Amino acid sequence: MIVKKLNELSSEDLKVLLSREIGIQDVLQRVNDIVMDVAENGDEALRKYTEQFDGVRLESFRVSEDEIEEAYDAVDESILSALELAAQNIYAFHDEERTKDLWLYQVAPGVVAGQKVVPLESVGAYVPGGRAAYPSSALMCVIPAKVAGVERVVVCTPPDVSGRIAPLTLAAADIAGADEIYKLGGAQAIAAMALGTESIERVEKIVGPGNVYVTAAKMLVRGSVEIDFPAGPSEVLIVADSSADPEFIAADMIAQAEHDPSSIAVVVTTSEPLMRAVETEISSQIEKAERRDIVQASLERCGILLAESLDDALAFSNAFAPEHLELMVRDPMDALNMVRNAGSVFLGHYTPVAAGDYATGTNHVLPTAGYAKIFSGLNIDAFTKKISIQSMTGEGLESLADAIIKMAESEGLRAHAESVRIRMRR
């Protein structure tokens, strides 16, 4: 772990902290082979890769109604209640994001312009498996699509060696409103949703987190289908002053680190005593961590940094562009004014990342590896398209005719100009 003053970071330190490579280049050729195989051989390629990577050969990939009912029976009622509460909050939050389905305004007398918002017809949601079940990701990907009005939402998630999906994930996908659920993971799932096979109809857009193979596949199929954004290992940056509790900070860093050995957690503080206290607290708490090996591997790449001022800390945060940003400072709203780059922001001492991961209603599918500089997290706009509209009377066209004709002719497009003149002659 890097424990230093912010202004003493070496170029190597900065490379570790700021250059969070997703690693796509290392797997690109292998993933391209899988995508091309699925394009050529369809379901048979899916069976081959599911057997190779998941250890089970499936004749049918679609989850049946009986399997969904069995999943509900296998999940404790208290957990189902938690999923339903989270689903309600996620629905409510994304419903608030909705804009007008249609708006018009008068540009000038006789000239009206506006916009129509239309949902996509079909969306694919990738829900990871692997190290753990991620029912929350099913909620986060499916619910906003349904709020937006998407008619067909497809979920793909990897099966276990018995050919089943984790009951929690399956129940969550159903609660969220998924229309089709498939036992299919990895790059082959992305290829199937993007290109279509005998049993899986293609979709218009693919969203959801995944490992480097999934991310590489999403990047490769982007010419055939739209995607949300590239995503890498999860990360948190915590900006803290002397009012912060080192126990809270250490807990949040360890929580982030338990995702994956490649996850990253960084705290930037203006208090040297807090910096030392956090280091001590991490050493204490890590001994109790259930996924200690993963946490320890992750924390080797993490950092506790001392900034001379809150302005310096927030400047570093904007350069880092974290997936999750916690502001554990006396006046988090004031600090928020300086935030330009972050996937999701958590204000105050009692707002851990885990709250947004599960139950506040905000979306946890977020850009990582610095992509928060140019991408938003998953939101209602990801599932809609916007169509511009205009309407003109004869009077309205006359008021703009001279400008239109001059601009069209300046570009050498005389037929454009004539399409206006012919109306003016009437």
pLDDT for the residue 132: 67
- For residue 142, the surrounding DSSP H or E stretch is helix 135-148
pLDDT for the residue 164: 92
pLDDT for the residue 4: 86
pLDDT for the residue 65: 96
Contact between residue 175 and residue 84 where contact means Cβ atoms under 8 Å apart: yes
Instruction: Please give the distance of CA 162 from its chain centroid, rounded to a whole number.
Output: 29
Tens place of pLDDT for every residue, the chain, 426 residues?
888 898 888 888 887 777 777 778 889 999 999 999 999 999 999 999 999 999 999 999 999 999 999 999 999 999 999 999 999 999 999 999 998 999 999 999 999 999 999 999 999 999 998 656 889 999 999 999 999 999 999 999 999 999 999 999 999 999 999 999 999 999 999 999 999 999 999 999 999 998 889 999 999 999 899 999 888 888 999 999 999 999 999 999 999 999 888 889 999 999 999 999 999 999 999 988 888 899 888 888 889 999 999 999 999 999 999 999 999 999 999 999 999 999 999 999 999 999 999 999 999 999 998 999 999 999 999 999 999 999 999 999 999 999 999 999 999 999 999 999 999 998
* Cβ-based neighbour number of residue 272 at 10 Å: 11
Catalytic residue among 324, 326, 349, 364: 324
CA–CA dist 335, 338 (Å, integer): 6
Contact between residue 147 and residue 385 where contact means Cβ atoms under 8 Å apart: no
φ, ψ dihedrals at 3, nearest 5°: -125, 100
pLDDT for the residue 292: 87
Is-catalytic flag, 259? no
Contact between residue 305 and residue 13 where contact means Cβ atoms under 8 Å apart: no
Question: CA separation (Å) from 409 to 173, 246, 320, 401, 418?
Answer: 56, 67, 48, 12, 9
Question: In 75-133, which ranges are continuous DSSP H helix?
Answer: 77-97
Contact between residue 380 and residue 148 where contact means Cβ atoms under 8 Å apart: yes
> What is the chain's alpha carbon radius of gyration, rounded to the nearest angstrom?
25
pLDDT for the residue 17: 79
Cβ-Cβ contacts under 8 Å for 168 (sequence gap 6 or more) = 71, 75, 79, 83, 133, 135
Dmax over Cα atoms in the chain, in whole Å? 85
pLDDT for the residue 131: 58
pLDDT for the residue 2: 87
User: What is the DSSP secondary-structure string of 245-311?
Assistant: -HHHHHHHHHHHHTT-TT-EEEEEES-HHHHHHHHHHHHHHHTT-TTHHHHHHHHTT-EEEE-SSHH
Contact between residue 252 and residue 353 where contact means Cβ atoms under 8 Å apart: yes
* Residue environment code for 283-308, b if the CB has 16+ CB neighbours within 10 A, otherwise e: eebbeebebeebbeebbebbbbbbbe
Question: CA separation (Å) from 76 to 69, 80, 168, 181, 214?
Answer: 13, 6, 9, 21, 31
> Half-sphere exposure (CA, 13 Å, Cβ side) for 370?
11
pLDDT for the residue 223: 86
pLDDT for the residue 261: 85
pLDDT for the residue 245: 97
Contact between residue 182 and residue 50 where contact means Cβ atoms under 8 Å apart: no
CA–CA dist 79, 232 (Å, integer): 28
Crossing angle between the packed helical segments 24-41 and 212-220, to the nearest 10 degrees: 60
Question: CA separation (Å) from 268 to 5, 312, 314?
Answer: 9, 9, 9
* Cβ-based neighbour number of residue 399 at 10 Å: 16
pLDDT for the residue 130: 63
Is-catalytic flag, 323? yes
CA–CA dist 111, 390 (Å, integer): 7
Mapping DSSP to helix (H, G, I), strand (E, B) and coil, where does residue 65 land?
helix
CA–CA dist 43, 260 (Å, integer): 31
Catalytic residue among 259, 323, 326, 349: 323
